[in-house]
Amino acid sequence: MMEKVIEILMDIDDSVDYETEERLIDDRILDSFGLISLVAEFENEFGVRIEATDMIPANFNSARAMWAMIQRLMERC
Amino acid sequence: MAYHTNLYLFLFLPAVLLLYQMAPRRWRSGVLLCSSYLFFASISKGLVIYLAGSTLLTYGTGLALLHLKQKCSSETAEVARAQAQNIREKFRKKEKLVLLAGIFSLVFLLGYLKYYNFFADNLNRLVERAGGASFLSLKRLAVPVGISFYTLEAIGYMMDVYWDRMIAERRPWKLALFLSFFPKMMEGPICSYSALSEQLGTGDALKAENLTHGFVRILWGLFKKMVVADRLYLMVNTVFDNYKGYSGMVIVIGAIAYTIQLYMEFSGSIDIVIGSGRLFGIVLPENFRQPFCAVNAADFWRRWHISLGVWLKTYVFYPVSVSEYVKKWNRFARKRFGKYWAKVGLSALCLFPVWFLNGLWHGAKWSYLFYGMYYFVILLIGVMAEPLGSQVRKVLHVKENSRWWRCLQIGKTWLIIFTGELFFRADTLRAGLAMFGSIFRDFDFATLWNGTILNLGLGRADLLAIVLGCIVVGIVGSLKERNRPVLDGLLQARMPLRWAVYCTLILAVVILGAYGSGYQEVDLIYAGF
């Protein structure tokens, strides 16, 4: 499933090494337009519900953090 | 008592520093709070009641949310999962109501004081145009200083508590100090409570390192404001107050001069603000990051008035983008129109409230609303043109990081910025449109060297001081952009060099600063918002 997260990220910007990048938001690699596209993709792909409170840099700074958030949200459902 | 005045710099600030240091540690936050209310009262007098009222309301809302959250936790502690979910949802609804009541009260107060006359005037005109008689009387409303700033901070605080990003503050004096802290009262930056709360309560003694840092930062801010911004004020006023007599290149010069004035004035004031905070060991967030190095409009807004952009992104853009209506639209649009148009529509839905509020926040004028909508359209065009742009870059083998491509992008962004600021500064939207239209009339590059510039309120010496000031600020900014912060470097430099720079800056402010006959004290632009 983590591969799916990376696949979605690659679709937005394929010039980043998502396996190692840990500062996607802090270093402005991913902007807010990218972020809202991601939210739509994640909800579509994983059937989770992302809320305003989840929109913090810590949840989107790396592919790993995103996957951890998705897992948490899947449990919440 | 604006931040660049003698009263603030040579009386108020040193007196507060002295009192702060003399007070016992546990009273130091009290000294800052009393000084902040005194500072507020010195400008807005009796309107201090609004600040105190807003603080009490914010405090009460926070406590009510905390109470509901605690009650929810205790009621869900020993019940089955499904039942706990129901209880949580019930409490979530109650919390939402409390939050909305708090936000609505603050927004109502801000809206009434700042926008009532604008709304009433426009509604009356509309009714008159339809043949009726105007029915809303205009009122003489005094607006408390900093209301646009502390209202946003208060709303941010309540939403953070609601979202569980922090626990509500139980100590009212601490929240009161956060909302009223005098260095950021007039011009921001708009801070989040979680970023400042720990710093505001420490009561640490003054430190030499903080004092030096703060002093240099204040000096740097004064240099930008007094040497460049306040001189350009004369030229900008000449062009914008008499725009009907000018056209072509003069209007362009006016727009560029105003953009530079606004940047030097606002970022200079923020330097004084951040420097003032630093004197007490309080690190306020940066509000600018070399905005003229931006490669597009979105990048510009990540570098200009950063704290307003962050606030709007956190409390408007993201909540709208994850709202049910937007998600529903997105799902529908993806099926019906495909990914590209769904993204364009999604961006439009999320960007519109942000830029409408950005324009409105600046004040009750059509030109400010136009300014917000101008950036909404520019950013939306950016989203729409993105795939085309990447295709063109691929076909032409353009590397995004190449120097010439970057320069081209920066040049394009400057055009966008100058045009936006032309409308922002114009007295009315009609004047802004007329000025924009007249750029294309009698456009002549010779205006730059045929002496016309010297008839715009400034002499050769003024222009020389402005150019020198811009070069110095430009060099410092470009070094910072290359991760070589001059200020930090200066503080670590040897003493002779450090003092040489301090003295040069002081002399520059004293000798080149715009005061004396022919000049007037210029109010802080953003304090008016």
Give the pLDDT confidence of B50-74 residue by residue, as tens digits: 999 999 999 999 999 999 999 988 8
Distance CA B242, CA B204 (A): 52
Distance CA B421, CA B266 (A): 13
Same domain, B421 and B339: yes
Residue B437 lies in a domain: no
Q: Where are the domains of chain A?
A: 2-76
Same domain, B155 and B303: no
- Residue B335: what pLDDT? 82
Mean pLDDT of B250-257: 93
Q: DSSP string spanning B344-356?
A: HHHHHHHHHHHHH
Output the CA–CA distances (angstroms, integers) from residue B231 to B207, B252, B260, B456, in the order listed: 35, 18, 11, 12
Distance CA B36, CA B57 (A): 19
Cβ of A53 within 8 Å of Cβ of B164? The answer is yes
A14 with A49: CB under 8 angstroms?
Answer: no
Cβ of A52 within 8 Å of Cβ of B346? The answer is no
- Residue B316: what pLDDT? 94
Same domain, B33 and B150: yes
Does residue B407 surpass a pLDDT of 70?
A: yes
Residues of A with CB under 8 A from a CB of B: 28, 31-33, 35-37, 39-40, 43-44, 50-56
Instruction: List per-block mean pLDDT (blocks of 10 residues) for chain A, which spans 77 residues.
Output: 86 83 86 82 86 88 92 80
Residue B235 lies in a domain: yes
Phi then psi for residue A35, to 5 deg, are: -65, -45
ipTM of the complex: 0.83
Q: Least CB-CB distance to B321: which of A31, A39, A53? A: A39
- pLDDT tier for residue B131 given thresholds of 50, 70 and 90: confident
What's the pLDDT tens digit per position in B462-519? 888 899 999 999 999 999 998 888 888 888 888 888 888 888 888 888 887 766 555 5
Same domain, B387 and B515: no
Size of interface A-B (CB pairs under 8 A): 44
- pLDDT tier for residue B99 given thresholds of 50, 70 and 90: very high
Does residue B247 surpass a pLDDT of 80?
A: no
Residue B22 lies in a domain: yes
Q: Which of B155, B188, B205 is the last residue of a domain?
A: B205
Distance of CA B102 to the CA centre of its chain: 23
B375 with B299: CB under 8 angstroms?
Answer: no
- CA-nearest residue to B319 within chain A is A52
Cβ of B346 within 8 Å of Cβ of A36? The answer is yes
Same domain, B421 and B326: yes
Structural tokens at position B342: 């769904």
Distance CA B187, CA B72 (A): 39
Distance of CA B155 to the CA centre of its chain: 16
- Chain B positions touching A52 (Cβ under 8 A) are 163, 318-319, 322
- Chain B positions touching A32 (Cβ under 8 A) are 313, 317-318
Cβ of B343 within 8 Å of Cβ of A37? The answer is yes
Same domain, B136 and B262: no
Same domain, B269 and B302: no
Same domain, B353 and B485: no
Higher pLDDT, B521 or B105: B105
Please state the domain count of chain B. 3
- Chain B positions touching A77 (Cβ under 8 A) are none
Same domain, B351 and B410: yes
* Mean per-residue pLDDT over chain B, rounded: 89
Mutate to test the interface with B, among A12, A33, A46, A59 (most CBs of B within 10 A): A33
Mutate to test the interface with A, among B303, B322, B326, B331 (most CBs of A within 10 A): B322
- pLDDT tier for residue B80 given thresholds of 50, 70 and 90: confident
- pLDDT tier for residue B522 given thresholds of 50, 70 and 90: low
Give per-residue burial for B172-183: e unless 16+ CB within 10 Å, then b: ebbbbbbbbbbb
Does residue B528 surpass a pLDDT of 70?
A: no
Cβ of B334 within 8 Å of Cβ of A44? The answer is yes
Residue B381 lies in a domain: yes
Residue B435 lies in a domain: no
Structural tokens at position B343: 């993204």
Distance CA A66, CA A6 (A): 10
Residue B135 lies in a domain: yes
Distance CA B33, CA B13 (A): 14
- Chain B positions touching A56 (Cβ under 8 A) are 165
The closest alpha carbon to B29, from B285, B243, B201, belongs to B201
- Chain A positions touching B334 (Cβ under 8 A) are 40, 44
What's the pLDDT tens digit per position in B300-329? 999 999 999 999 999 999 999 888 888 888
Mutate to test the interface with B, among A11, A36, A42, A44 (most CBs of B within 10 A): A36
Cβ of A33 within 8 Å of Cβ of B383? The answer is yes
Cβ of B314 within 8 Å of Cβ of A55? The answer is yes
Same domain, B303 and B282: no
- pLDDT tier for residue B445 given thresholds of 50, 70 and 90: confident
Same domain, B320 and B356: yes
What's the pLDDT tens digit per position in B132-153? 887 888 888 888 999 999 999 9
Name which of B178-187, B242-251, B367-376, B411-420 the model is least confident about.
B242-251
- Residue B75: what pLDDT? 84
How close B325 gets to chain A, by Cα (Å)? 13
How close A39 gets to chain B, by Cα (Å)? 8
Q: Which of B205, B231, B259 is the last residue of a domain?
A: B205
Element (H, E) at A49: none
B509 with B223: CB under 8 angstroms?
Answer: yes
Distance CA A62, CA A46 (A): 17
Q: Least CB-CB distance to B322: which of A31, A37, A52? A: A52
Cβ of A40 within 8 Å of Cβ of B319? The answer is no
Does residue B109 surpass a pLDDT of 80?
A: yes
Q: A53: exposed, middle or buried (C-beta count within 10 Å: 0-12, 13-18, 19+)?
A: middle
B119 with B25: CB under 8 angstroms?
Answer: no
- pLDDT tier for residue B299 given thresholds of 50, 70 and 90: very high
pLDDT-above-70 percentage for chain A: 97
Q: Which domain holds residue B10?
A: 6-205
Phi then psi for residue B393, to 5 deg, are: -60, -40
Q: Which of B205, B230, B264 is the last residue of a domain?
A: B205
Same domain, B26 and B59: yes
- Chain B positions touching A35 (Cβ under 8 A) are 318, 321
- pLDDT tier for residue B102 given thresholds of 50, 70 and 90: very high
Number of helices (H), then strands (E), belonging to chain B: the values are 23, 0
What's the pLDDT tens digit per position in B254-272? 999 999 999 999 999 999 9
Q: May I ask the CATH class of domain A2-76?
A: mainly alpha
Q: Least CB-CB distance to B163: which of A35, A50, A52? A: A52
